[in-house]
Amino acid sequence: MNSESYFIGIDVGTSYVKSVIINHNKDILSSFVKRTGTSIENSSEIAFQKVISDAYLSKTAIKSIIVTGYGKNKVNFANNYKTEISCHAKGAYHYFPKKITVIDIGGQDTKVIKLDKQGKIVRFKMNRKCAAGTGAFIEEIAYRLDIPLKDLNNLAAMSTSNVPLASFCTVFAKTEILTRIKDGEKLEDLIKSAFGSVIKRIIEMTEIEGTVVLTGGVIAYNNIVGEILKTELNADILIPPYPQFIGAIGAALFALESYNFG
C-alpha cells in the first residue's frame, strides 16, 4: 500500500463548507471550514485548496475526492458524490462502532440517523421545514439578543432555569423573548431556553433511543446542548472529535474505501 496516498472529503452545507484530508491509516492531517456564501463552486474550491495547503501536500498526492451535502453536485472536481445521511452515519460510526443514534444539528437542517451494531442505517429523519431545531434558530436568537455566538454557551451554563421557549417558530420565539426580557428574565435563562427549545424540537421529530452521538456545528461550540439532551433523554450522549466535520470525515472514508491501491 502506498504510504503517499491521501483522501479528501468535502461537506457542502447550506451554511458552511467543511473539508478534511486523511491518509490511508484514516488519520486526519488537516481540516478547514468556511461560510458557503453565494457561490458553492468558489467556496468548495477554497476549502479544497486550503485543506491541501495546510497539510503541506500537492494535488498529485490526492488519490480520491468525495463530496457530500446539499451543494455536492456543484463541485465538479470531485471523483464521486455521497448522500449526507450516508456520510454522517459513516463518520459517526468510525468513532463509535456500535449501535448508535446520530443527531446532527446543522445550520439549516437536523438529521436523526439510527444505526445498527454493524453501522447499517436502519432509519433516518430530517427536519427541513423551518429553522426550528437547527443552528439557524440559535443564530437568530443571538442576533435578537445582540450577543456574539461564541458567548452563548458560557452564558447558558450560568442559568439555573429549565424553562424552554414555548414556541418553535423563530418569528414567534423572537416575540416571546422580547416579552420575557420586558418581564425581567435573566439573559442566561433566555439563552438556555433557546437551546432547550432546539432540543425539544429534535426530540419531537422522531423516537430517539439508545446511545446518542451528537454532531454538527452547534454541538462543536455549545456543549450545553449535550447536557440538556442528556437530561431530557436520560441517555448516554457521545461527542466525537471534530463534531462539525463528521460529514466530511465520512466522505473522506468513502474516498479511501473506493480507491484501488493496486
Confidence label for 175 from pLDDT (cuts 50, 70 and 90): confident
Contact 13, 106 (CB under 8 A): yes
226 and 122, same structural domain?
yes
Q: Which domain holds residue 117?
A: 110-238
Contact 79, 255 (CB under 8 A): yes
Domain containing residue 54: CATH number: 3.30.420.40
| Whole-number pLDDT of residue 202 | 87
134 and 192, same structural domain?
yes
62 and 117, same structural domain?
no
| Whole-number pLDDT of residue 214 | 96
Number of domains in the chain: 2
The stretch 124-145 carries a mean pLDDT of 76
DSSP 8-state assignment for residue 112: E
Answer whether residue 93 shows pLDDT above 60.
yes
The pTM of the full predicted model, rounded to 2 decimals, is 0.90
16 and 71, same structural domain?
yes
DSSP 8-state assignment for residue 255: H
234 and 115, same structural domain?
yes
Q: What is the pLDDT of residues 206-249, one digit of tens each?
A: 889 889 999 998 899 899 999 999 988 988 899 999 999 999 99
In a domain, 102, yes or no: no
Answer whether residue 101 shows pLDDT above 90.
yes
Q: What is the pLDDT of residues 6-37, one digit of tens each?
A: 999 999 988 899 999 999 999 999 999 999 98
In a domain, 104, yes or no: no
| Whole-number pLDDT of residue 128 | 60
| Whole-number pLDDT of residue 48 | 96
The stretch 183-190 carries a mean pLDDT of 86
247 and 234, same structural domain?
no
| Whole-number pLDDT of residue 187 | 85
178 and 120, same structural domain?
yes
225 and 150, same structural domain?
yes
253 and 150, same structural domain?
no
Contact 22, 253 (CB under 8 A): yes
DSSP 8-state assignment for residue 119: S
203 and 143, same structural domain?
yes
218 and 251, same structural domain?
no
In a domain, 87, yes or no: yes
Classify each residue of 85-121 as buried b or exposed e, where b means 16 or more C-beta atoms within 10 Å of its C-beta.
bbbbbbbbbbbbeebbbbbbbbbbbbbbbbbeeebeb
In a domain, 101, yes or no: no
